[in-house]
Amino acid sequence: MASYNEKASPADAAAVWAIVFLAIVLAALVGVYFWRNHSFADVSSAVNETTGINVIGTETSVIPPETTVTEATTVSVTTTETEATTEETSETEKAETIAASKEYNPEFFGRGLIIGDSISVGLVNYGYLKPENVFAQIGLTPASVLTADIDGTTVYTKAAGLDPDYICIMLGTNGLSYLSEDYMAEKMGEFIDGLRQTCPNAKIFLVSIPPVTAAHESEKPEKIENITKYNEHIAKLAEEKSVTFVNIFMLLQDSDGYLAADYAEHDGLHLKGAAYPVLLSAIQAAVESEGYVPTSAPVTAPTETSAAAVSETVPTVPAETPAAVPETIQQQEETVVQTAVINENEEIIQ
């Protein structure tokens, strides 16, 4: 065996240097590993400047553009969770109903007359108003109301017999599919003139027609755009005729501008029982703003149970099962509208 004092062979020296080199490479790799996984683990890597999203394994951090990279670690959620949250928020916003007053006094409407179509029929069917205070018929329009006959009574005969202190008109929904806004506004003007001759002391109120749901708009001819244009027409007409315009359209909208789910029947056009207190509250507020006080009974503070009490007194259609009413009304209304299209188109041509 060679002693320590003997000179090492070239082969032995090469082996030693190979071992030293491998040790240095291994140490470098270990150093790089710990540097990447520990020194900057808290701030992540590779920020996408366009989206502001850092990828950390299977997680995603959403970083507002104005914040620093360090702040990213405090707002970390998975991609799946982010999408679910966004979708849930969107659905919640669509279902949100704009707050509106539902307070009204049933006795207030004992000296008034409401004129309308199937939507106003619901005032009687749900028991909110007495039949003697409502002149409403399925398929009625501002044109057909001029000659309509309900159980042998025209609107002018009804108004003359009741001699109301105020008259509220909500017509136009049925005509949107086949009559122009201008034509309906023209006929509404004639109707106002006729009511003034019949009841010269009654205050007249024009009520906007309500919105429809997005689902209804996608399948039926009644569109939010057309409804809005028509409401603008009758608002202008109200100003020209010196009558009061009552905008219930916005009170029944959801946050997306459509008929709120809380108020919409399954067909997306007719109203649930819950919508009528909003309608009546708006009408009462408008009439009261004109200084009217009913002579039949003193005005008392409305209560939350007033609508329910009326429904129980006149349970024509229970509020708990309203779906059956619009289905029947819708079927009848389609037949009436088809007939009205023929009759009113002939009138326009003449």
pLDDT the model gives residue 314: 30
pLDDT the model gives residue 257: 94
User: Of 9-18, 132-141, 303-312, 323-332, which range is least confident?
Assistant: 303-312
pLDDT the model gives residue 7: 54
E-state strands within 107-254: 112-116, 134-136, 149-150, 153-154, 166-170, 203-207, 244-246
Residue of higher predicted confidence among 29 and 317:
29
pLDDT the model gives residue 258: 97
Q: How far apart are CA 118 and CA 323, in angstroms?
A: 14
How confident is the model over 119-143, as pLDDT tens digits?
Answer: 999 999 999 999 999 999 999 999 9
Q: Please name every residue paired with 206 in a beta bridge, in sequence order, or none if there are none.
A: 169, 245
- Position 295 confidence tier, pLDDT thresholds 50, 70, 90: low
Q: Which of 276, 287, 282 is nearest to 310 (CA)?
A: 276
Residue of higher predicted confidence among 208 and 54:
208
The residue whose two tokens read 């701030």 is: 43
Sign of CA dihedral 217, 220, 221, 227: negative
Look at residue 314 and give its three-state secondary structure. Answer: coil
pLDDT the model gives residue 312: 33
pLDDT the model gives residue 345: 52
Q: Mind giving me the DSSP string for 30-97?
A: HHHHHIIIIITTTT-S---TTT-EEEETTEEEE--TTS-GGGGGGSEE-HHHHHHHHHHHHHHHHHPB
For residue 296, is pLDDT > 90?
Answer: no
Residue of higher predicted confidence among 305 and 159:
159
Q: How far apart are CA 88 and CA 218, in angstroms?
A: 23
For residue 272, is pLDDT > 80?
Answer: yes
pLDDT the model gives residue 27: 77
CB neighbour list of residue 174: distance below 8 Å, 6 or more residues apart = 117, 118, 139, 140, 141, 333, 336, 337, 340
Range 72-83 average pLDDT:
36
Angle between helices 118-125 and 324-349 (to 10 degrees): 150
Residue of higher predicted confidence among 153 and 60:
153
Residue of higher predicted confidence among 260 and 34:
260
How confident is the model over 211-256, as pLDDT tens digits?
Answer: 999 999 999 999 999 999 999 999 999 999 999 999 999 999 999 9
Q: How far apart are CA 21 and CA 19, in angstroms?
A: 5
For residue 198, is pLDDT > 70?
Answer: yes
User: Which amino acid, one-letter code, is at 71?
Assistant: E
Residue of higher predicted confidence among 72 and 198:
198
Q: How far apart are CA 332 and CA 335, in angstroms?
A: 5
User: Which amino acid, one-letter code, is at 47?
Assistant: V
Residue of higher predicted confidence among 46 and 197:
197
For residue 76, is pLDDT > 60?
Answer: no
Return mean pLDDT, the chain: 74
Q: How far apart are CA 266 and CA 229, in angstroms?
A: 25
- Position 291 confidence tier, pLDDT thresholds 50, 70, 90: confident
What's the start-to-end Cα distance of the chain, in Å?
Answer: 131
Range 149-169 average pLDDT:
97
For residue 268, is pLDDT > 60?
Answer: yes
- Position 66 confidence tier, pLDDT thresholds 50, 70, 90: very low
CA atoms within 13 A on the CB side of 159: 27
For residue 84, is pLDDT > 50?
Answer: no
Residue of higher predicted confidence among 289 and 80:
289
- Position 304 confidence tier, pLDDT thresholds 50, 70, 90: very low
Structure tokens at 101: 């007053």
Q: Please name every residue paired with 148 in a beta bridge, in sequence order, or none if there are none.
A: none
Q: How far apart are CA 188 and CA 173, in angstroms?
A: 13
For residue 162, is pLDDT > 80?
Answer: yes
pLDDT the model gives residue 113: 98
